[in-house]
Structure 1
Amino acid sequence: MAIHLNDSLNPKTVMAPVQFDIDSVAGIKEQFEELLQEPNQLVVIDLKATEFIDSSGIGAIIFLFKRLKRQQRVLQLADVHGQPKRILTMLKVDKAIAFTGEQS
């Protein structure tokens, strides 16, 4: 008897850069485009190492969120803390995208 694992049930995690800004977004968007082609139902952006986010980083997150939502998939943000948490909470991103993991 063979066991088949359904990869679509496993979350796919992307590590966000330390500076999630205009300079890093081009590379991240390429990763996001690749994620959109994969079957994973849950996609997680891990912000553990992220110390700074600007409007470009927020725009990239919203871009991915909207595309995943159209595919009836879920995006979560993990380990949101510091300046990124303050900005994302102020903009009420946490009302649309769940924050998970340690938060300070």
Structure 2
Amino acid sequence: MSIPLEQSLTPTRIEAPAYFDVESVAAIKDQFDELLTQPSHKQSCAIEVDLGHTEFIDSSGIGAIIYLFKRLRRQERQLQLAKVHGQPKRILTMLKVDKAIPFVESGESA
């Protein structure tokens, strides 16, 4: 499974899968690790996870987002979630993820 990456000045955008669950997390965690370790990606001070096409998220998907958030914070970088809607928005808001990680429209700065 390939997750599309789009490098821009700020933020670097990664598109989350439609079903952000245990099956898709392994592939996206590899992408997250690349964003965290590759020098070309480290130039961006912010990462934006686009949830615009994400219809469903489970605890594995939430765990992957928290994993990325914590690693970025150690690097003094930011994470933002874009186009959060539907079931993912209900779950992430209920868990108060939006208090730590800003929800934005795509391309906005947090």
Same fold (TM over 0.5): yes
Report the Cα distance in structure 2 between the residues aligned to 1:53 and 1:20, rounded to whole angstroms. Answer: 5
Gaps of 5+ in 1: 1-6
Give the 3-state SS of the residue equivalent to 1:10 in structure 2.
coil
Residues 8/19 of structure 1: CA separation in 2 closer, same or farther (3 Å cut): closer
Q: Spell out the pairing of 1:39-78 with structure 2 (5 A cutoff).
A: 39=42, 40-78=44-82
Q: CA deviation at 1:9?
A: 4.7
Choose the corresponding residue for 2:95, options 91, 95, 98.
91
Report the Cα distance in structure 2 between the residues aligned to 1:17 and 1:94, rounded to whole angstroms. Answer: 19
Aligned to 1:24: 24
Gaps of 5+ in 2: 1-6
Q: Structure 1 runs of 4+ off > 2 angstroms?
A: 7-10
Identical positions, percent: 66
Report the Cα distance in structure 1 between the residues aligned to 2:8 and 2:69, rounded to whole angstroms. Answer: 17
Structure exhibiting the larger radius of gyration computed from Cα positions: 1
Q: CA deviation at 1:10?
A: 2.2
